[in-house]
Structure 1
Amino acid sequence: MKRCHANFYTIYQKWVGFLDPSAADDDLKAGTNVEIPLWLAESLQSRRPPLVSVDLPKIYKDAYREILNADACTVDMHKLGQYFYELGCYVAKHDIKGEVAATLENTFKQRFRMLLSASVSTDTLSTMQPLSASERKRAAAAASSENALSAWLQRGDCPLTTANMVANHRKRKRAEMEMF
């Protein structure tokens, strides 16, 4: 069993050497920095002993967090990362301090207000900074809902009226207030 285990790591190390195109050997040296997909880094880190240490992607590091916390509405989210929120949720579990999750929440709150107000008028939405994929979906859904509400209100065939239960409830409350 031990021999098979040792062979697995030997093969594994040779395979990992191909991840660095500048490597001369099939094996990576300790301390080598290589950009690999997050799913692969996570599986390599979960081994005992861990084979890699995972750093946060640059868009979730301090410099970008400061920009996003200052004014997220001015940031080109498409350029920063088309799937900024989705990747951020995945990356947040590797952030020990919890700063990534707080930045994601703050960024979403700031940009959601902007998206909501811009969805009322389509000309404002087109003048905004490019949006991430999830923001585009939310903006399209908000614009669609706004258009449907406007069309329903303009139809006028079903005006809103107060329900009898609500009207009777108000009368009872008023009667009770007059008693005291």
Structure 2
Amino acid sequence: MNSEYLSVSDILVSHEKVSCKFLYDLPKMGFLDPSAADEDLKAGSNVEIPLWLADSLCSRRPPLVSISLPKIFKDSYREILNADACTVDLHKLCQYFYELGCYVAKHDIKGEVATTLVNTFKQRFRLLLSASVSTDSVASMQPLTATERQHAAAAAETENALTTWLRRGDCPLTTANMVANHRKRKRAEMEMF
């Protein structure tokens, strides 16, 4: 996994559970399947395991599991997101929607997850902008994912800093002396001809 080692959000994303189908019998691994009576995990068993484990088992040669896409990235949700992503409360469905999508996109054979991520962000960008300048921050932040909330908060902080700087007015923008002298020389040269 391409991850940031000490990133809390990355740790939370990599602990999301994904459904996997085991391709081989695994001795002494029956504890992974709570419904299994055997101590061995049989081939064909569908088990939900953390993404970090599923990814490492899938990257082995030969792969030990095949990873199913999380429900938020399946066809029914993709249709809803592509139709109108702004009406979906992504915070309730998947707090780390974009990060999880980046991880599972490599397991999507059709390549539709990456397209859905881009389209969803494009549609939700206006929602993100309005949340960043809204005075009612709680209501506007409600449907946003954790990443969108961070971006909205950063945008609001930048907007406030700019407004404060513009109101301060103690250091107005002026032309630098070097630029002013350069213009004078150019003008003098033009007048000579």
Q: Does 1:28 align with 2:35?
A: no
Higher CA-based Rg: 1
Matches within 5 A, 1:1-180: 13-123=26-136, 125-128=137-140, 129-161=142-174, 165=179
More helix by share: 1
User: What is the Cα deviation at residue 127 of structure 1?
Assistant: 2.6
- 1:8 aligned residue: none
More strand by share: 2
Distance 1:92 1:68 in 2: 16
Distance 2:51 2:166 in 1: 48
- The answer to whether the Cα contact below 8 Å between 2:58 and 2:67 also exists between their aligned partners in 1 is yes
Aligned length: 163
Gap change, CA 1:135 and 1:166, over 3 Å in 2: farther
Query: Aligned with 1:15: secondary structure?
Result: coil
Amino acid aligned to 1:62: D
Q: Which runs of 5+ in 2 are unaligned?
A: 1-24
- TM-score w.r.t. the length of structure 1 is 0.78
Query: Aligned with 1:35: secondary structure?
Result: strand
Q: Which runs of 5+ in 1 are unaligned?
A: 1-11
Q: CA RMSD in A?
A: 2.7
Give a deviation string over 1:32-66, Cα, whole Å, max 9, x none: 11111122122222333322211111111111111
User: What is the Cα deviation at residue 13 of structure 1?
Assistant: 1.8
- The answer to whether the Cα contact below 8 Å between 2:97 and 2:145 also exists between their aligned partners in 1 is yes
Instruction: Give % identity.
Output: 76
